[in-house]
Amino acid sequence: MKKIAFIFLLLCGVVNTYGQDIPAYKAEDLMQRISGEDTLYIVNFWATWCNPCVKELPEFNKLQEIYAGQPVKVILVSLDFRNSYPHKLEKFVHRKKLQPDVAWLNETNANTFIPKIESRWEGSIPATLIVYHKNEYQYFYEGATNVTALRPLIDKQLALQ
């Protein structure tokens, strides 16, 4: 009977077999999520259809590993189209073995959501936002990045604690 119930839940999509639930956020939800004062947040905006984005995703896995146990949180925010959420996105996250938390931005009007996230953002991806409210620090970079570029910025902020 338990086996039948599990299969039923699996077929209904209630059980996530891909390892992590992917919440849908509005811009305001995301900004609330990264508002903790004692945590440095690294937020990467990407999409499964963006080749430079996909290429840099392993860098965020590395950052997740480097800063494990420290007050650092890596969040990957997908800008995939609505028809990719949640199933295609969950499969992609599982296949790529993404370790950081993944969220999906549930907004399509860039003119509305971009100013709520970062006024300097011109809309291209990949893009990375680092926020550390404790030090009143905010860094934004539009384009592909890597651990070598981000680590000195993060380490400097952590050293100021």
Q: What are phi and psi of 52, to 5 degrees?
A: -60, -35
Contact 145, 55 (CB under 8 A): no
Question: Residue-wise pLDDT tens for the chain (161 aa)?
Answer: 545 444 443 444 444 444 579 999 999 999 999 999 999 999 999 999 999 999 999 999 999 999 999 999 999 999 999 999 999 999 999 999 999 999 999 999 999 999 999 999 999 999 999 999 999 999 999 999 999 999 999 999 999 97
For strands 101-105 and 72-78, give the pairing: parallel
Domain boundaries, the chain: 19-159
Prediction pTM value: 0.88
The secondary structure of 123-149 as a DSSP string is S-SSEEEEEEGGGTEEEEEES---HHH
Q: What fold, for 19-159?
A: Glutaredoxin (3.40.30)
